[in-house]
Structure 1
Amino acid sequence: MTAEGRQRIDKWLFFARVVKSRSLAARLAQAGRVRVNRNKIDQASHMVRPGDVLTITLDRRILIYRILDAGERRGPATEARLLFEDLTPPAPPAADPALQPLRERGAGRPTKKERRALDDWKGEE
């Protein structure tokens, strides 16, 4: 950690348990998948400080974190959660199965149960 609580972005991502290793954190930053205060960065050595807002693009999700503190080490998850405030909006709720359209009986392809009943009725094996 340097003066004023500043820290390299790759170290902070590793300490906050966003990624599994520091080299993955460096690759994430160099690929331009991390924004600091809405500015895209491309260096793993970019310095961040408490109060900065990070937008991190991972495979299937986007994380928005406000940095609360610089990390000292990669500790347990409870310690890592103290480093940031999660500003990520909640995921939209999954579709309610009760609202799914129902197939009327006899419409479309037969189900496995209906096919077996047809085979029994026809006398086929």
Structure 2
Amino acid sequence: MSPAPTPTTARVDQWVWAIRLYSTRSAATAACKAGHVKINGATAKPAQTVKVGDVVRAYTAGGERIVAVTGLIVKRTSATIAQQHYDDRTPPPPPKEERVLDIVRERGAGRPTKRDRRLIERWRGRE
């Protein structure tokens, strides 16, 4: 019995789930539908195919991840095998002293007003 042939393309939702960017296949599909997964800069639909050499940018709960496709898998395997199928190009997080401090509001101050929210966003650098 010969080994299964390696695929030339794979669905993006299967691939990002198989390399463990998302914990479930349905979460990967939902992220694609919401526009949180991009292939070579273009928003990807769940059934869009990826091939070796593509750059996938995914917004996850842990932050933005940028990975290059070096191999195709469609089934979830161990983490060590999954790491062989992508090259992580995510920039390292900034040092602690460069990170913006969280804004702490006084207890009982209520919801922030529109002006407060805009100031908070400006302090966090998301303007």
- TM-score calculated relative to the size of structure 1: 0.69
Report the AA paired with residue 38 of structure 1: G
Matched, 1:6 2:9: yes
Give the superposition deviation at 1:73.
Answer: 2.2
Count how many residue pairs are aligned between Structure 1 and Structure 2.
95
Retained in 2: the 8 A contact 1:5–1:69?
Answer: no
* Structure 2 unaligned residues grouped into runs of 5+: 99-127
Partner of 1:34: 37
- Report the counterpart of residue 62 of structure 1 in structure 2: 64
Alignment partners' CA distance in 1, 2:6 and 2:78 = 25
Q: Does 1:93 pair with 2:92? A: no
* Conserved 8 A contact 2:19-2:82: yes
Structure 2 CA distance for partners of 1:59 and 1:20, relative to 1, 3 Å: closer
Q: Is 1:69–1:82's contact at 8 Å kept on the other side of the alignment?
A: yes
Residue 51 of structure 1: aligned partner: 53
Match of 2:28 in 1: 25
Shift of 1:64: 0.4
Alignment partner, residue 110 of structure 2:
none
CA drift of 1:8 comes to 0.2
What is the alpha-carbon distance in structure 2 between the residues aligned to residue 95 and residue 23 of structure 1? 37
The answer for the alignment partner of 2:78 in structure 1 is 76
**Displacement after TM superposition at 1:40 (Å):** 1.3
TM-score after normalising by structure 2? 0.68
Question: What's the C-alpha RMSD, in Å, of the aligned pairs?
Answer: 2.1
Asked if 1:16 is matched to 2:4, the reply is: no
Distance across 2 between alignment mates of 1:59 and 1:76: 21
Instruction: Give the C-alpha shift of residue 58 in structure 1.
Output: 1.6
